[in-house]
Structure 1
Amino acid sequence: MTRVFVALGGNLGDAQATLRQALDALGSLPRTRLVAHSRIYRTPPWGLREQPPFFNAAAELDTGLGPHELLDALLQIERAAGRVRDGERWGPRTLDLDLLHMDGAMLSDQRLTLPHPRIAQRAFVLLPLAELAPDLEVPGQGRVVDLLAAADATGCEALP
């Protein structure tokens, strides 16, 4: 089993309910166990500003799936939640699942880069990830807690 961290986000429909359903779906993947998940955060939009706020969380998994197998499973969960990938980056979406880090995996190909190359730039990823693994060393980027200390978390708030 390999330890994995996944970011969850969305801002269309009942995004909080969608995130909870996605967490259930992650825990139901074959050869995978949901170890823990963060609280849900309300965060300002990133990139394209003229859209509703996002809701974000992070999940910690143990999995026997390989990186591309897991990526395919994440994409299937997104599709089941109504996600349509139309090529627009940073726009509104029902669900976005990003594979952030997989213990022992460093790769970069046309489909997947591990660890996720933009973890350090995104408070909406770092806040929930820091709840689960503050001392996680992201290869080439640093410890999650240090990355969070340098990030702008203005407007991000944990929900009860």
Structure 2
Amino acid sequence: MMSERAYIGVGSNLGDRTLRCQEAIRAISKIAGVTAIDASSFYETTPVPPASGGWFVNGVVSVQTQLTPEALLFELRRIEQSMGRAAERARGADRSIDLDLLLVGSQVVEQPDLVLPHPRLHQRRFVLVPLCELDPNLRHPVFGVTMQELLHRLDDPSLVRLLMSAEKSIPGEDG
């Protein structure tokens, strides 16, 4: 398989949220078949829908990968479970770590366990803000508009505030 650019949402609202996100990014960087990792800044965001654990820390990671979307999703779920997330994925529940496969190149996939692009990507400020930081001109493969255009059109009142700049979001990068 040829190499493609994939985008992964990273989030946590339990424990040391920032540290958990950094640990997840480190684990993603070690997946066989994943290279050229780049991470957005971390943002503190209101939970959508509201969760008892409070605000999330969210960011987006961009990777170059030779894995199929299914294989990459399998690896992301393995990382979530290794970091204490239950295999059952209740929507709206608190999460020690949440890894969402958002996009893989321009692939459109509709399977019971995998939909690409992520079906709610265009409705979520906490995804679009860090995604636009990485690549504002990235086009949504179904809607044909850029992430910046999706963000501009967005009717989502949730708050997204900068928590940690991108230079510090990937642990161990500065030695």
TM-score, with normalisation over the residues of structure 1?
A: 0.94
> Within 2, Cα distance between the matches of 1:10 and 1:83?
10
How far does the alpha carbon of each residue in 1:99-128 deviate from its partner, in whole angstroms, 9 at most, with x for none? 100113111011100111111110000111
- Alpha carbons of 1:148 and 1:72: their partners in 2 closer, same or farther (altered >3 Å)? same
> Within 2, Cα distance between the matches of 1:145 and 1:87?
29
5+ unaligned residues in a row in structure 2: which ranges? 165-175
For 1:148, the equivalent position in structure 2 comes to: 151
How far does the alpha carbon of each residue in 1:12-70 deviate from its partner, in whole angstroms, 9 at most, with x for none? 11110010011111111001114310010000011135441000000000011111100
How far does the alpha carbon of each residue in 1:74-96 deviate from its partner, in whole angstroms, 9 at most, with x for none? 00010111111434211101011
5+ unaligned residues in a row in structure 1: which ranges? none
Question: 3-state DSSP class of the match of 2:80?
Answer: helix
Contact 1:124 1:153 in 2 (8 A): no
For 1:121, the equivalent position in structure 2 comes to: 123
1:157 aligns with 2:161: yes
> Within 2, Cα distance between the matches of 1:54 and 1:38?
15
> Within 2, Cα distance between the matches of 1:64 and 1:159?
32
Contact 1:34 1:59 in 2 (8 A): no
Point out the more displaced range, 82-91 or 15-24.
82-91
> Within 1, Cα distance between the matches of 2:39 and 2:113?
25
1:91 aligns with 2:86: no
For 1:136, the equivalent position in structure 2 comes to: 138
For 1:70, the equivalent position in structure 2 comes to: 72
> Within 2, Cα distance between the matches of 1:91 and 1:129?
23
For 2:114, the equivalent position in structure 1 comes to: 112
Describe how 1:54-69 pairs up with structure 2 within 5 A: 54-69=56-71
Question: 3-state DSSP class of the match of 2:35?
Answer: strand
For 1:40, the equivalent position in structure 2 comes to: 42
Question: 3-state DSSP class of the match of 2:22?
Answer: helix
Please list every run of at least 4 consecutive aligned residues from structure 1 whose deviation after the TM superposition is greater than 4 angstroms: none
Contact 1:31 1:64 in 2 (8 A): yes
Identity among equivalent positions (%) equals: 33
Structure 1 vs Structure 2 CA RMSD: 1.4
> Within 1, Cα distance between the matches of 2:136 and 2:89?
32
